[in-house]
Amino acid sequence: MNGASAVVIGAGPAGLRAAEVIAQRGIHTTIFEQKASPGRKFLVAGRGGLNITHSEPLEDFATRYDLPARWRGLLRRFSPDDLRGWFKELGVETFVGTSGRVFPRNVRTPMILELWLERLDRLGVDFQVGRRFHQMLGSGPYDLVFQRGTKYHLVTADAVVFALGGASWPQTGSDALWVEEFRRLGVPVSEFVAANVGWERRWSEAFLDVADGKPLKNLQVTCSGRSVKGELMVTEYGLEGGALYQLTRELRKFPQIEVDFKPGLSRAQLEERWRADVDPREGALRLWRMSAAAVALIQEIAQPKTLPQWIAAVKRCRIVFERPRPIEEAISSAGGVPWDQLTDDLMLRSVPGVFCAGEMIDWEAPTGGYLMQGCFVTGTIAGEGVAKWIAKAH
Ligand SMILES: Cc1cc2nc3c(=O)[nH]c(=O)nc-3n(C[C@H](O)[C@H](O)[C@H](O)COP(=O)(O)OP(=O)(O)OC[C@H]3O[C@@H](n4cnc5c(N)ncnc54)[C@H](O)[C@@H]3O)c2cc1C
């Protein structure tokens, strides 16, 4: 497009997607990445099975994000079906797992990344790895200063997409060191905090002997009046798992939960199933069909003796946490560039022609494919925004 050029900084899923959309519009696009290779966190995400999105209806899908009304609009511009279609075009079939989560079928994440990079190569996207964004000068076109070792060099671009990630797993490159430069440019950035992270609580040796590494399934977990269904996992340091991740926002304000180990049974039904001649622990295991880890947890927390005490602990076991695990260990982070700094096309209001995408924007969602979907949505919108911007300016 008339020799216009765009620069995308950060080669995670959001940046790669933005570059793809821009290059598809015929604009010369270069991606800069500080690590020696692209998509490091994307590859980490794929280690336990890459959960790309979720199959639930869009209305429900949007409610998983911190601002559902905003996300309803964003998701219409690149929906979970669009994302599955994108994978199909790449040659990767997807399937819906039992939990409604969507995964690639029979293709491992390194191969997906390779197919994606080949597509970008065919589109003429230029890759510059091992180059750290340092500074942005000018007022459009922009002079971008990149650092490689002890050397600095300047690149000029008509439009820029920042897709620098959040602040978890810094070893993958998402180190949030860009925050300082954004603040220097006059763009406020909300403090990063851990999301989708485990919570610490001290356990006894005896409990860990039984329960360490064991899942606690089919629970209802409540924090500050909000209840979710899901699983927890006992760890040496405390608890982690999907049910806690869904409650991250509540836990930050009030770090304790109440667990109902038998949400499908009322107190009266638990009592009906009881037999007075059975040892209470045995009864919990056999008559209430609880796992050994769940029974051990109840004993660890509540030390029930009588039947009413057992029933009370099964239906409402309160667990108080000391703190979340460090942000470096979190699956994702909240915080970043606030929405009010961005237009509908994800352009920075105060820096025209400069867009943001992915986890560096201040949003949060639980695990379940919502993070990847959020990165693809915002990458798509920022890429389209760049194309519109350049078309208007040239
Ligand atoms: C263990 C784990 C498992 C996960 N599993 C899933 C999952 O199954 N499903 C899911 O939806 N999500 C999952 N996620 C989350 C998902 O991986 C992230 O939300 C996603 O990678 C964020 O994409 P992004 O493009 O915004 O940022 P990132 O992937 O973090 O990429 C940002 C890039 O910017 C680069 N960068 C940063 N600063 C600079 C700079 N100054 N100069 C140049 N480059 C820079 C970084 O090196 C990095 O490559 C998982 C995350 C983890 C840690």
**Residue 363 beta carbon below 6 angstroms from any ligand 1 atom:** no
- How high is the pLDDT of residue 125? 98
Mean pLDDT of the chain: 96
Ligand 1 atom closest to the Cα of residue 164 is: 34
Q: Which two tokens stand for residue 329?
A: 């260990």
- How high is the pLDDT of residue 173? 98
Distance of alpha carbon 360 from alpha carbon 338, whole angstroms: 9
Q: Describe the strand order of the beta sheet including 126-129 as a list of residue ranges.
A: 126-129, 28-33, 5-9, 159-162, 354-356
Kindly tell me if the per-residue pLDDT of 98 is higher than 90: no
- How high is the pLDDT of residue 382? 98
pTM of the model: 0.96
- How high is the pLDDT of residue 280? 84
**Residue 324 beta carbon below 6 angstroms from any ligand 1 atom:** no
**Protein residue closest via CA to atom 8 of ligand 1:** 51
**Protein residue closest via CA to atom 3 of ligand 1:** 45
- How high is the pLDDT of residue 1? 56
Contacts of 314 (CB under 8 A, 6+ apart): 260, 261, 262, 270, 284, 288, 290, 298
Query: In which band, very low, low, confident or very high, does the pLDDT at 275 lie, cut at 50, 70 and 90?
Result: confident
Which DSSP helix (H) or strand (E) runs through 61? helix 58-63
Range in 14-18, 69-73, 143-147, 390-394 the model is least confident about: 390-394
**Is residue 12 within 8 Å of 163, Cβ to Cβ?**
yes
Q: Which two tokens stand for residue 134?
A: 């340092």
**Residue 260 beta carbon below 6 angstroms from any ligand 1 atom:** no
**Residue 195 beta carbon below 6 angstroms from any ligand 1 atom:** no
Kindly tell me if the per-residue pLDDT of 53 is higher than 90: yes
**Residue 44 beta carbon below 6 angstroms from any ligand 1 atom:** yes
Question: If you average pLDDT over residues 81-107, what whole number do you get?
Answer: 97
- How high is the pLDDT of residue 2? 60
**pLDDT tens track for 330-355:** 999 999 999 999 999 999 999 999 99
Q: What percent of the chain has pLDDT over 70?
A: 99
Question: If you average pLDDT over residues 173-179, what whole number do you get?
Answer: 98
Please give the backbone phi and psi of residue 104, each rounded to the nearest 5 degrees, phi first: -70, 145
Helix and strand element counts for the chain (H, E): 15, 20
**Residue 35 beta carbon below 6 angstroms from any ligand 1 atom:** yes
Query: In which band, very low, low, confident or very high, does the pLDDT at 393 lie, cut at 50, 70 and 90?
Result: confident
Distance of alpha carbon 54 from alpha carbon 50, whole angstroms: 12
State in Å: Cα 160 to ligand 1 middle. Answer: 19
**Residue 18 beta carbon below 6 angstroms from any ligand 1 atom:** no
* Residue 266 CB neighbours (<10 A): 12
Which among 331, 356, 370 is the best mutation to test ligand 1's pocket, defined by most ligand atoms within 8 Å of the CB?
Answer: 331
**Is residue 183 within 8 Å of 338, Cβ to Cβ?**
no
**pLDDT tens track for 221-274:** 999 999 999 999 999 999 999 999 999 999 999 999 999 999 999 999 999 998
State in Å: Cα 184 to ligand 1 middle. Answer: 24
Kindly tell me if the per-residue pLDDT of 394 is higher than 80: no
**Residue 366 beta carbon below 6 angstroms from any ligand 1 atom:** no
Distance of alpha carbon 198 from alpha carbon 253, whole angstroms: 15
Which among 7, 41, 153, 337 is the best mutation to test ligand 1's pocket, defined by most ligand atoms within 8 Å of the CB?
Answer: 41
Query: Any idea which residue has 């009413």 for tokens?
Result: 308
**pLDDT tens track for 2-33:** 689 999 999 999 999 999 999 999 999 999 99
Q: Which structural domains are found in the chain, ordered by start? A: 5-194+334-393 (3.50.50.60), 199-324 (no CATH)
- How high is the pLDDT of residue 316? 98
**Is residue 237 within 8 Å of 200, Cβ to Cβ?**
yes
Which DSSP helix (H) or strand (E) runs through 259? strand 256-260
State in Å: Cα 372 to ligand 1 middle. Answer: 9
Ligand 1 atom closest to the Cα of residue 14 is: 25
For strands 199-200 and 256-260, give the pairing: unpaired
Q: Which two tokens stand for residue 227?
A: 């209840």
Kindly tell me if the per-residue pLDDT of 214 is higher than 70: yes
Start-to-end C-alpha separation, the chain: 8
For strands 151-157 and 354-356, give the pairing: unpaired
Distance of alpha carbon 372 from alpha carbon 378, whole angstroms: 10
Q: How many CA atoms lie within 13 A of 189 on its CB side?
A: 24
